[in-house]
Amino acid sequence: MKIARLARLNLLLVILLIVVFILNLAGGVHWYAPSLLWQSQHTLAQQIMWSIRLPRALAAALVGALLALSGQLMQTLSKNPIADPSILGVNAGAMLALMLGSVAGITLSVINTIWLSIVGATLAFVVVLMLAMTRQGLDPLRFILGGTVFSGFVSCLAYAVSLLTNTTMQFRNLLVGGFSDTTFKQVIFLVVGLFVVTLMITFNRKSLTLMVFDDATARSLGARPGLTRAIGALVIVISAGCSVAVAGNIGFVGLGIPAIIHYLHPDSLERNILPNLLLGAVFMLLIDFVAKTLVAPTELPLAALSAICGGAFLLIVIAREGQVLTDE
């Protein structure tokens, strides 16, 4: 019965994903029918569909999925439902690395942006983990507090670097988040990233699931918390790094999507991987659609939009959950 419910949720999310994907393709400064993609006559509209809209929609879906996965892992590893790579400074670390790299003279080609932001995300995450480790393992409170402060600090540094070097326009996409110039090359990297991350999670799903316990309990069950934490951290920095390299620092998705999935279907990490990944993609496609169509031709800042929409939704969920609890 429970399996059936999970399958229903996944099916619903796949249908939603197809719908919002088509919507995202169709919407923009002008509305185009997605069927243009396979029409024989070569028009400007067809070219726009192929070289701008399709990679953009694909990138949005992939980044949404990656961010949702990294958030889900972050929350499990830190035993804290409000952990997320953007709150804990991992995204900010990637962003700062990109800016510093560019200032230092590294050309921001697709491959360079990816490795720079993964390195930045890793360094930031290592610092936050070191702030939070105690003899008993990871202290959730220190993790979240240290991470938040560190995130603010690194974001400020990133803004300062961009202001001082007069590159705020160049880094606009990075700072406000968005998919406006996405290329197929970036999409390929995102596909590889998502593939690697999904494999890592799938192979380690049982031990990752045990990370909700304290280290002593997890170890007594036969798990190796240190190793599992390292694998989880690797997944987080790859996901966050790839996302930031393509779409900048987008908040909420990593925080809100796993929370919503957990609300809809409270279950272990391993069973919620797929719905979480799907809803992340759906949400990002939808938000990107709003960003480019709401006040077209102006494009709205995606990160802010994501935070507003998602934040409002999350508030409703929390408020409703509170209601449910008081009714009992």
Partner 1 sequence: MNAIVGQELTIGYGKKTIIQKQSLKIATGQITGLIGPNGSGKSMLLKALCGINPIISGSVLINEQQLATMPNKMRAKMIAYLAQTPIVPGDLTVLNLVKMGRYAFYHGLMNRDESGKAQVYQAMVAAKVDDLANRRIDSLSGGQRQRAFIAMTLVHNSPIIMLDEPTTYLDLTHQLGILNLLKELNLTQQKTVVLVLHDLNQAAQYCDQLLCIQDGRIIKTGTPKEVLTASLLAKTFQVTADITYHSARQYPQLQDYETLVQS
Residue 145: count of CB within 10 angstroms of its CB: 13
Least CB distance to partner 1 at residue 266 (A)? 5
With CA atoms as reference, report the closest residue to 121 among 102, 94, 141, 97.
94
Q: Which of residues 35-94 bind partner 1 (CB under 8 A)?
A: 79
In whole angstroms, give the CA distance from residue 122 to residue 237. Answer: 6
Helical axes 273-293 vs 2-26, angle rounded to 10°: 20
Cβ distance to partner 1 smaller for residue 80 or 91: 80
Residue 81: CB minimum distance to partner 1, A: 9
The correct pick among 50, 115, 184, 213 for binding partner 1 (CB under 8 A) is 213
Using CB under 8 A as the binding rule, whether residue 211 contacts partner 1 is answered as no
If the CB atoms of residues 12 and 267 are measured against partner 1, the closer one turns out to be 267
Shortest separation between residue 86's beta carbon and partner 1, angstroms: 23
Q: Is 206 in the site for partner 1 (CB under 8 A)?
A: yes
Confirm or reject binding of residue 135 to partner 1 (CB under 8 A): yes
CB of 153 or CB of 213, closer to partner 1: 213
Which residue among 23, 212, 296, 309 contacts partner 1 (CB under 8 A)? 212
Residues that contact partner 1, how many (by CB under 8 A):
22
**Least distance from C-beta 300 to partner 1, angstroms?**
36
Least spacing, CB of residue 275 vs partner 1, in Å: 16
Rg of the chain, C-alpha, whole Å: 20
The distance of Cα 286 from the centroid of its chain, to the nearest Å, equals 14
Are 204 and 211 in contact by the 8 Å Cβ rule? The answer is no
Q: Does 139 bind partner 1 (CB under 8 A)?
A: no
Pick one of 210, 236, 246, 303: the residue that binds partner 1 (CB under 8 A): 210
Least distance CB 56 / partner 1 (angstroms): 35
Coil, strand, or helix at residue 137? strand
Among 108, 205, 304, 311, binds partner 1 (CB under 8 A): 205
Asked whether the beta carbons of 155 and 162 are under 8 A apart, the reply is: no
Backbone φ, ψ for residue 134 (5° rounding) = -125, 180
Backbone angles phi, psi at 138, to 5 degrees: -80, 130
**17, two tokens:** 């994903």
- Which residues 220-259 are close enough to bind partner 1 by CB under 8 A? 220-224
Q: For residue 174, what are its two tokens?
A: 């990075």
Strands (E), the chain: 133-134, 137-138
CB contact set of 7 (below 8 Å; sequence gap of 6+):
none
| Residue of 10, 112, 170, 268 that binds partner 1 (CB under 8 A) | 268
The tokens describing 317, both together, are 């969920």
Q: Are 184 and 55 in contact (CB under 8 A)?
A: yes
For residue 214, CA distances in Å to 86, 94, 137, 278 come to: 25, 29, 8, 29
Smaller CB separation from partner 1, 34 or 140: 140
CB of 3 to partner 1, least distance (A): 13
Part of the chain binding partner 1 (CB under 8 A), chosen from 7-15, 110-118, 207-215, 242-250: 207-215
Exactly one of 217, 312, 318, 322 binds partner 1 (CB under 8 A); that residue is 217
Rule CB under 8 A: choose which of 219, 234, 264, 304 binds partner 1: 219
Q: Where on the chain is the footprint of partner 1 (CB under 8 A)?
A: 79, 135, 203, 205-207, 209-210, 212-214, 216-217, 219-224, 266-268
